[in-house]
Amino acid sequence: YPDLQQYTNQESPAQLNHDYLESLLMENFMTFVINGLTSETPFEDSMRGKDKLEYKQTLENKGVTYHRVQFIDGSDQVELLIDTKDKLIRAMTIKPADPKKHRWELNLDYTSVELNKPIADEKFVIRTPTEAKKVDRISFTRQFDYPKEGQRMPDIALSVWNGGDQKKTVNELLGTKMTFVTFWASWCMPCRNELPILESLYGQYKDKGLAMVGVNLDSSDKKDAIKSFLDQAKLSFPILLDPRALYAKELLVQSLPTLLVLDAKGKIVECHVGNSPDVQKELRTIIEDTIGKSAGQATSHTNELKKSY
């Protein structure tokens, strides 16, 4: 890979490409660092779905004592250094769990992260640039689209998780009254938090006409991570695989998790993007309001397509 030539005179392996490194960095930053700053139980949440968790020892460096923890995350081995005082992750090393297949190592340093550091008031002062001009209208070069109300699901067959060569379309898995279709990935922490809630609702309402379908967007080399999470989550509804996100792009799904609510005919009546603290209550209300209606009469809860963040 050309950008890595400054570090080595050997040709980089094909697996070590920019997209992979970028996804690896974002995945681990979101999972561990952001989660560590926002969760009340950061360690438990970060370790959910991980294999072979080992507490190695305490390690002292520059007067700071760290917990040293190792675990397997899919095809990667991860080592964390956790500050014993503030419990924040200060360093992370990622490398292949099987060094016989690939040999590389990624080191991330978070020692500069400070918690609750006072920020000077002048940091929040907005100063208008001298060259700025007043305009009547602002246009954005990038606009986000979402799945449209009334849109039907694409008739594209996707591989079924643990289904061998079996492929299914979402339209083949519709419920008699309504269907939830959730787009998720194993590295997406809000997805991991939402899926058990969906499983609980599915268990309560599947005999009353509710169907549930999960569409996984992990890349094809992340099957170990998918398996690790699903083994723990024990989801009973079908999971379809969309490793290149072609199905998701067809529907304009751009953020995870995205949950689509379909009526009995497979038309989108609502779209929920992201995860809210009241998601279980909100979805239960939608189910209760719809499940008793005749097939095809599902009602949208807003005049416009609902988006929750």
Round to whole Å and give the CA distance between 150 and 12. Answer: 48
Residues 282 and 189 grouped into a single domain: yes
User: What are the residues whose beta carbons fall under 8 Å from the beta carbon of 79, sequence distance 6 or more?
Assistant: 56, 68, 69, 70, 92, 93, 94
- Helix, strand or coil, per DSSP, at residue 66: strand
Domain count of the fold of the chain: 2
Q: Which two tokens stand for residue 277?
A: 């603290």
User: What are the residues whose beta carbons fall under 8 Å from the beta carbon of 300, sequence distance 6 or more?
Assistant: 149, 269, 270, 306
Q: Answer whether residue 24 is part of any domain.
A: yes
CATH number reported for the structural domain that contains residue 32 in this entry:
3.40.1420
Q: Answer whether residue 62 is part of any domain.
A: yes
The pLDDT of residue 44: 66
The pLDDT of residue 155: 93
Q: Which residue, of 109, 128, 150, is where some domain finishes?
A: 109
Q: Answer whether residue 174 is part of any domain.
A: yes
Residues 173 and 279 grouped into a single domain: yes
**Tens digits of per-residue pLDDT, 213-226?**
999 999 888 898 89
Round to whole Å and give the CA distance between 298 and 134. Answer: 47
Please identify every stretch of the chain with a pLDDT value under 70, giving residue numbers as ranges. 1-51, 74, 102, 115, 137-144, 292-309
Round to whole Å and give the CA distance between 228 and 71. Answer: 12
Q: Which two tokens stand for residue 306?
A: 């609902």
Domain extent at residue 76: 2-109
The pLDDT of residue 264: 93
The pLDDT of residue 50: 67
Return the DSSP state at 264: T
Nearest Cα to 51, choosing from 196, 224, 186, 221?
Answer: 224
CATH number reported for the structural domain that contains residue 189 in this entry:
3.40.30.10
**What is the rounded radius of gyration, in angstroms, for the C-alpha atoms of the chain?**
23
Nearest Cα to 208, choosing from 114, 289, 119?
Answer: 289
Residues 162 and 255 grouped into a single domain: yes
The pLDDT of residue 292: 62
Q: Which residue, of 109, 133, 150, is where some domain finishes?
A: 109
Q: Answer whether residue 25 is part of any domain.
A: yes
